[in-house]
Amino acid sequence: MLTAFARAFKTPDLRKKLLFTLAIIVVYRIGTNVPIPGVDYRNVQTCIDNAEANSGLFGLVNMFSGGALLQITIFALGIMPYITAAIILQLLTVVIPRLEALKKEGQAGTAKITQYTRYLTVALAILQGTGLVATARSGALFQGCPVASQIVPDQSIFVTITMVITMTAGTAFVMWLGELITDRGIGNGMSILMFISIAATFPSALWAIKEQGSLAGGWIEFGTVMLVGFVMVGLVVFVEQAQRRIPVQYAKRMVGRRSYGGTSTYIPLKVNQAGVIPVIFAASLLYIPALIVQFSNSTAGWATWVEANLANPAATAHIILYFLMIVFFAFFYVAISFNPEEVADNMKKYGGFIPGIRAGRPTAEYLSFVLNRITWPGSLYLGLISLVPTMALAGFGANQNFPFGGTSILIIVGVGLETVRQIESQLQQRNYEGFLR
C-alpha cells in the first residue's frame, strides 16, 4: 500500500489532486479552531476541560463538526446543515412530483436539486446557528460548568446577529470547500470533510480514556479500547462489502445491422443498503425530547421521566427505543431509496430479465422479497454497532464521545473504502498496480 501511495504521488495529475485535497483539509482544520466574535474563549476552554460538561446532548453534532461546535468557532455547525438538507431533499423527492421529475432529467435535474440543497443548507444554518447562540447564552450548552452562563458576555442583539451570520457564512464556506474537493480533488468532498471531522476527535478521546483508566496507568483500558476498535473496523468492512448479486441477462436484439445485448450482469444489493442514515435519524429524534426538557426547565413528571430514560444513554428504555428506531428507519430508508418496480421496468425496457423470473411485476416482487430479507441482517447490524458507545459507558466509564462509536466507525470506514477505491481506479487507468495486489 505504501508503494501504491508513492506511485500515486509520482503521477503528476493525481499528485495535484491529492495535494489540493490535503490543502483544503488544512484550511478546514484551521477554521475549526478560529472562535467567532462575541465569545469568551477562556470560559469556553474551561467548560471543555470539564468532563461532566463535555458529555452533554450535543455530542453527535460536535463529532460531525470535528469538535468545533463546543468550541463555538466559525465552523461550529460544520457539515451537519448540508447533511440534513441533502437527506430532506432525498426524502422529499419521493413525496413531491416536481423533485421526482427533476431527478429523472439527468445532469440538469441533478444540478437543480443541488442548488435547492444549497439554499436549504443556508436556511438550516441560520436556524441551527440561532439555536446554538441561544443555547450558549443560556448556559445550557455546557451543563455542570460553573462559567457556562458567561460564555457570551455581551448578549445584545447586534452581537447575536453577528454570531449567527458568522456561523452561517462558515457553513457556506465549508460547503464550498467540499464542492472544490469533489470537482478538483479526490473523492466526495462532503464525505472527506466529514471523515476528517470525526478522525480529528480520535486522539483526544483515546487519550482521555487512558487518563481516566486505573489499570497500569490507564494503558490496559487504552489497549482494550484499541482492540475493540480494530475488531469493529474489521466487522464493518466485512458487512459494508457484503452484497447479494442478482444475475441479470439481456437478450440479443438487432438494430439495423448491429446486434445489441446478449450480455450477463448482476444487480448488487448491499446488506447495509441504508448506510448510516438510520442511525442519524434515530439519534436526532431521540435528542428532541431531551432538548425540549432542557429548554423548558420543567420539573413535571414527564420531564423527569425523559431525563431519566431518554436523555440517559445507559437507560434500558433509551437502548430499546434507539435499537427499534434504527431497525425501523433502515427499512423505511431502503423502501424510499430503492424502487423495485422502477428497476424492473428499466430491465424490461432494455430486454433484461432475471433467470427463472418473468419480466415485469414478478421481477419487482422478487426484488422486493430479496431486499426485505437482506435488510433484516443489515438493520440488526446497524442497531448492534450503534450500541457500542452505551457498552463503553458501562464498561470503561467513557463519555458519550467514545471514539469507536457506531456512527463514527460506519462513516470513517465507508468514506475510507470509497476514497481508496477511487485512487486505485485512477492508478489502474495508468497501468499501475492498485492498493490490493
**Domains of the chain, each with CATH number or no CATH:** 1-200 (1.10.3370.10), 236-404 (1.10.3370.10)
- Give the pLDDT of residue 54: 47
Please state the separation of Cα 201 from the chain's center in Å: 15
d(C-alpha 299, C-alpha 396), whole Å: 31
Phi-psi region of 335 (alpha: psi -120 to 50; beta: other; left: phi over 0): alpha
Q: pLDDT averaged over consecutive 10-residue blocks of the chain (437 residues)?
A: 68 85 91 86 78 52 74 86 85 82 81 89 90 81 74 84 92 92 86 85 78 72 80 85 86 64 79 83 78 70 77 77 89 86 84 83 89 90 80 56 70 83 77 55
Q: Write the DSSP symbol of residue 40.
A: -
User: Which single residue is written with the C-alpha cell 469556553?
Assistant: 44
pTM of the model: 0.80
Q: Are 74 and 59 in contact (CB under 8 A)?
A: no
Q: Who contacts 279 (Cβ-Cβ below 8 Å, separation ≥6)?
A: 326, 382, 386, 406, 407, 410
Nearest to 61 by CA among 125, 119, 117, 113: 125
Beta bridge partners of 77: none
- Give the pLDDT of residue 389: 66
d(C-alpha 54, C-alpha 198), whole Å: 16
Longest dimension (CA), the chain: 82
Q: Who contacts 173 (Cβ-Cβ below 8 Å, separation ≥6)?
A: 31, 74, 75
- Give the pLDDT of residue 33: 85
- Give the pLDDT of residue 177: 92
